[in-house]
């Protein structure tokens, strides 16, 4: 069995943490690239096309922004231009990190298609949006779909819609959409359920505080980890408070890479790094006390002690009853 190291695909989710500022967005690309993440991801939308003027903000959005403004007003402050996204994609390529952005409406879908991202990211809120799913699937390109707020039937319906159009690679991301997600609501075991039900790779999109849960998800086999990050959690905006700062993002990436290396291939073998310890910690059959040549070897005059470069204690019964081939001093390794 070949020992091929697992490589979890890490998405540094910038989302709207640029606050509508292109220079801030570029700095987010820098931070993501420096962390060692595989991909930097933004969100692309035309506010008037995705939310009505009557839509309220979520509780966490109200906590983290001006509570009196509408969701539409909030989103209008968090947009970048099409030209900005072209420049960001070029800049990400220059920084040698994959670029992606979640598209939330028809105009944005067309833009992201033109940017030729490696995959489409379907957010949790669009899993029940039939027209949206049809538009994404028609491109016949790899898809990652978050499944926050969804039950199994809703996920199954979305997968069926996608699969009727394309057999392109599909990865399902387990997710909880509360910011931050309470630990008791994470339910990481649902990743296994998704994998068993839909027979496709699974990952985890995280909205908890800290980095423990993404690391645990990696150990449970997540193929993809997505995590929000920001340059400063104290910046104004809806998502900064539940995001990692650059130092934490680097810590998370490093920890995930360590877990990837540690998972291995499941074959229980002697590893190269531990070979040198065999003789140090294993034991050999030695004289318990002084033994004269010809004396019968018994449990009274032999025992097992370190080091392990003599006769293995697994040959204990074979050695018992033999005659000593020479005089042995106490602690001297027995020879037969």
pLDDT band at 276 (very low <50, low <70, confident <90, very high): very high
In this prediction, residue 61 carries a pLDDT of: 84
Q: Are 207 and 177 in contact (CB under 8 A)?
A: yes
pLDDT of residue 68: 75
The pLDDT mean for the chain works out to 96
For residue 42, the tally of other CB atoms under 10 A from its CB is 25
Map out the domains of the chain with their CATH numbers: 9-263 (3.20.20.70), 272-319 (no CATH)
Q: Model confidence at 245, in pLDDT bands (50, 70, 90)?
A: very high
Whole-number pLDDT of residue 60: 78
pLDDT at 59 over 90: no
**pLDDT for residue 3:** 52
Confidence of residue 56 (pLDDT cuts 50, 70, 90): confident
Q: What is the pLDDT of residues 161-176, one digit of tens each?
A: 999 999 999 999 999 9
The pLDDT score that the predictor gives to residue 65 is 80
Query: Which whole number is the average pLDDT over 55-67?
Result: 80
pLDDT over threshold 90, residue 63: no
DSSP of 208-232: SSSSHHHHHHHHTT-SEEEEEB-S-
- Asked if the model's pLDDT at residue 295 lies above 50, the reply is yes
Above pLDDT 90, what percent of the chain? 91
Q: Once rounded to an integer, what is the mean pLDDT over residues 263-271?
A: 93
pLDDT at 123: 98
Residue 315 has pLDDT above 80, yes or no: yes
What is the pTM for the complete model shown?
0.90
For 304, the 3-state DSSP assignment is strand
pLDDT reported for residue 57: 79
Which of 30-44, 235-249, 297-311 bottoms out in mean pLDDT, i.e. has the lowest?
235-249
Q: Decide if pLDDT at 270 tops 70.
A: yes
Contacts of 42 (CB under 8 A, 6+ apart): 14, 15, 16, 18, 25, 80, 85, 88, 100, 101, 102
User: Is there a contact between 169 and 156 (Cβ–Cβ < 8 Å)?
Assistant: no
**Res. 1 pLDDT band, cuts 50 70 90:** very low
Determine contact, residues 53/72, Cβ cutoff 8 Å: yes
151-167: average pLDDT: 98
Alpha-carbon distance 70 to 52, whole Å? 9
For 1-5, 242-246, 267-271, 295-299, which range has the lowest pLDDT when averaged over its residues?
1-5
Residue 158: is its pLDDT beyond 60? yes
Structure tokens at 269: 């073998």
Which helix (H) or strand (E) segment holds residue 31: the answer is: helix 22-35
- Please count the residues of the chain: 336
- The average pLDDT across 209-223 equals 97
Which pLDDT tens digit goes with each residue over 94-137?
999 999 999 999 999 999 999 999 999 999 999 999 999 999 99
With a cut of 60, say whether residue 2 has pLDDT above it: no
Cα angle 266, 188, 33; round to 5: 80
């Amino acid at each position: 069995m070949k020992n091929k190291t697992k490589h979890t695909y890490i998405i540094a989710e910038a989302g709207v943490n640029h606050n509508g500022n292109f220079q801030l967005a570029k700095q987010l690309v820098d931070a993501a690239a420096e962390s060692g993440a595989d991909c930097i991801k933004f969100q692309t939308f035309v506010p008037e096309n995705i939310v009505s003027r009557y839509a309220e903000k979520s509780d966490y959005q109200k906590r983290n922004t001006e509570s009196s403004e509408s969701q539409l007003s909030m989103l209008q402050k968090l947009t970048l231009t099409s030209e900005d996204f072209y420049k960001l994609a070029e800049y990400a390529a220059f920084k040698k990190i994959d670029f992606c952005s979640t598209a939330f409406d028809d105009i944005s879908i067309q833009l992201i298609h033109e940017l030729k991202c490696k995959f489409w990211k379907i957010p949790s809120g669009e899993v029940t949006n039939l027209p949206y799913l049809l538009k994404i699937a028609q491109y016949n390109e790899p898809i990652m779909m978050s499944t926050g707020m969804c039950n199994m039937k809703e996920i199954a319906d979305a997968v069926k819609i996608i699969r009727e159009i394309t057999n392109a690679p599909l990865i399902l991301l387990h997710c909880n959409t509360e910011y931050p997600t309470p630990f008791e609501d994470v339910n990481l075991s649902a990743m296994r359920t998704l994998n068993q039900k839909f027979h496709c790779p699974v990952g985890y999109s995280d909205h908890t505080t800290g980095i423990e849960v993404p690391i645990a998800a990696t150990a449970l086999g997540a193929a993809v980890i997505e995590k929000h990050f920001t340059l400063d959690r104290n910046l104004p905006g809806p998502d900064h408070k539940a995001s990692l700062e650059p130092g934490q993002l680097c810590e998370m990436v490093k920890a995930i890479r360590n877990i990837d290396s540690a998972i291995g291939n499941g074959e229980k073998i002697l590893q190269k790094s531990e070979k040198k310890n065999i003789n140090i910690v294993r034991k050999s059959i030695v004289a318990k006390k002084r033994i004269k040549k010809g004396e019968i070897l018994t449990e009274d005059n032999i025992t097992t002690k370190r080091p392990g470069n003599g006769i293995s204690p697994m040959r204990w019964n074979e050695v018992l009853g033999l005659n000593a081939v020479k005089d042995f001093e106490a602690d001297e390794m027995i020879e037969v």
